[in-house]
Every structure is written in C-alpha cells, then in structure tokens.
Structure 1
Amino acid sequence: MTIGARVDEGIPPLVTATTAAGRLGCSVTWLGRLVQQGRLPGVKVGRQVVLPETVVAALAEQRRRGVEGWDAPETRLPALVSPSKAAPLLDFAQGNSVVALYQDGKLPGRKVGNDIVLRRDVVTALAALRRAGIERYPGA
C-alpha cells in the first residue's frame, strides 16, 4: 500500500481473476464467464475482473476437498469503479489524478494487484464535496 493511502473497509479484500484462476486451477476466461453469468460474485473494474478473496478461498477449499462445482458463498459487492472511470465524475481528465487522491489519503479505496478500486458511492459523494470546495472525503 502507498504511504497515506486509506483502505476502504466497505470494499472486501479482492483478488484479480488471474490470481483466482491460478489458485483454482481454471482459466481467467472461465472465471470471467461465471462472473458475467452471475454464478460467482465479482465485477469487471477497468480491464480486470475482480472477485472477493473469501469466495476464492472457499472455492479453493472445496476443490481441495474434492467437491465439484462452483457453489460460492453469497457475497454482495458494492458498485466499484476504476480510477479512469472515477476521473470524469470528479472533473479530472485522467485517472492518475484519482490515483493521486488515493495515494494522498484523500479518497479511500482498495488495492487489487497493481490496480486500485473505488466505491462508486464514495466517488460520487466526493464529487459533491469537491463542488462545495472540500477536497477530501470525510474521515480520509
């Protein structure tokens, strides 16, 4: 984590589909298809599909025990956005300005691999605050 960055506890720990596929012995494409069909909780953020760490751990344990199938624990994810999708909401031209807010501790998010994910509701709230002259999300 970058110094000053603030973890958004509203986002559960996540792993990329690439990491999950390696742990589960399947392809990234297969996991992406299961997420798209709603059979696994996950979301596409930017160019990556991310899944809750708890789901991947539960599925890995099932596979270790020889249980077939893809029955994952019920998990709801908040609406997530990448920095590039958050940028126009915050009146920035590029996502790197959003990354800087995260790194400076002014916007909470969660690191996933080399990327950052943000809750859409937090970004929307910060956008409203910025219009009022406040540059930092409360508590950040």
Structure 2
Amino acid sequence: MTKPVRALFKHGATAFDIWEAAQKTYTVTQNSSRLFQLQRQSILTCQNDEYVKVFYEKLHAIWQEIDCLRPHEYSCADDRACRLKELEADRVYDFLRRLDPPYDGVRSRILALSPVLPPFEAYAMVMEEDTRQSAMLG
C-alpha cells in the first residue's frame, strides 16, 4: 500500500478490518471510464528522461489499478497460470518499449532471453544498467 492509501486505513483494529475497508473502498464492479482512462494513461506513459525507478513505479501503479478494476475469472489453476504469464510478458514488452534510447542495449538483452522475464526481473536488469551508466558517466 502506498503511504497516502495506508493513511486512510491506519485505524483498523485488525488486518482483516483494514482489508475489508480497503476492498469496499476500491472495489468497483463496472468502471469502464476509469479503465479507459488507465489504458490510455498506460499507453501514453513513457520514460521521457525520468529516472527509471520513477517511470517504472508509475507504470506499475497503473497496472495494479487495472488489475483491481478488471479481475479475471478462471476455470482452473492452469488457465490462471497461462494468463498470468501472458500478462507479465505483455507488461515487460510495454515497459521496454517505453524506455529511452540509452537503454537499447539492456532492452535487447532482455528480449533475447527465453522465457520472457517477469516484470520485476526485467526492471532489476534495467536498474543494473542504469547504475552502470551512472557510474561510467561519473
């Protein structure tokens, strides 16, 4: 939970009470306008000279909200596992596609890997490259 959201629920008596309150606050059964807005925001979000960390956090927050607004129903655990792998791969591609040109090298290395890395691992590789570039430039 982010700090502003956590502040809304800090007086819950138990973890269950906090979870219930958060679920009731943020669960929306149908919010097509917000989903449209988030999809659009996701498409328009690019690094644009921001720190990689800030850029990834923005993109990840959008993905999390989309997941909350559009929960998926699966008939079995295998369906869920397959869909999650596809979704993670799509998110890695989204993240890599929106990085600035100085990250072309690490982008190519990540895309050459099989299977596709989970988003957090791809982010970690990009952050390693970011640290390396910062050290080289002084």
TM-score between the two structures when normalised by the length of structure 2: 0.27
Question: Which structure carries more strand by proportion?
Answer: 1
**Higher relative contact order at CA 8 Å, sep ≥6: structure 1 or structure 2?**
1
